[in-house]
Amino acid sequence: MFKILQPFIFTAILINLFFLCSAKADTLILKSGRSVQGEIIERTPDHIRIKINGLPIKYYIEEIESIDGIKLIDPGKAEEDELFYREKGSPKKWAEWYRPEIEKYISDTKEIFSQAAAVTEQALKDIDRSLKARKTNEIPGICRKAQNKINSKINKLEKIKPQQGFEVYQQKIISSCQYMNSSLSAWEKGQKDFAARKLSYLTLAMDAMKELRKMFNEYGASQEIIDSTTSFVDRTFLNKDN
């Protein structure tokens, strides 16, 4: 299921980033080691087109190491997720493992994370309205207010002791929240690497859900429960209800 949905998620992310990117210079570091600077004018799941001295140049995703210092994650790696479904635990194992304290831990961490994401998404909408109204002087205040709220969510997450085996999952969602903050810092300072930072916090969110899928599969969760980790990302960032 995730292998089917993931390209659509990645496409939606790239489209979202495209409309939020600034006209300032973007820097691509290619896997060859070469650095390219210009204005990104097109993003798709398999290539990025950047304008250099007025000339549009296309680079394929597999050629790119990073954008503005943020490493680009190859969406093709989603195929690796299928490995998680080859050996599935038994329903009995799931019943023994999915204790009330684990259910509460997952619910609490996802809820705090969702709140941080909602703050970020609302801040981006407020920034967009300020830009359309030509009230750019409001943007720093919008960013700082949102960052204070996100920091409080990060503090809450850091105070929660992770259940055994959930350490990587919890660190991923904390890191995603930290990138939410840094993306707003980029806006406040001129947007230079906002797009790359937004891509990073979305990618980290999907990585966190991948950790949950691995554990859910290992301990024998139903396919519906496993697939709910993907729909969580959809609901949180892409405004999808399913």
- pLDDT reported for residue 118: 93
Residue 97 lies in a domain: yes
- Number of domains present in the structure of the chain: 1
Residue ranges making up the domain that contains 228: 2-237
Letter for the amino acid at 42?
E
Higher-pLDDT residue of 207 and 77 is: 207
Residue 242 lies in a domain: no
Residue 179 lies in a domain: yes
Residue 29 lies in a domain: yes
Strands of 47-52's sheet in order across: 55-60, 47-52, 35-43, 26-30, 64-67, 70-71
Residue 115 lies in a domain: yes
- Check: pTM over 0.75? Answer yes or no: no
Task: Give pairs for 122-127: CB < 8 Å, separation 24+.
Answer: 122/146, 123/184, 124/20, 127/187
Residue 11 lies in a domain: yes
Residue 182 lies in a domain: yes
| 143-166 pLDDT per residue, tens | 999 999 999 999 999 999 999 899
Residue 73 lies in a domain: yes
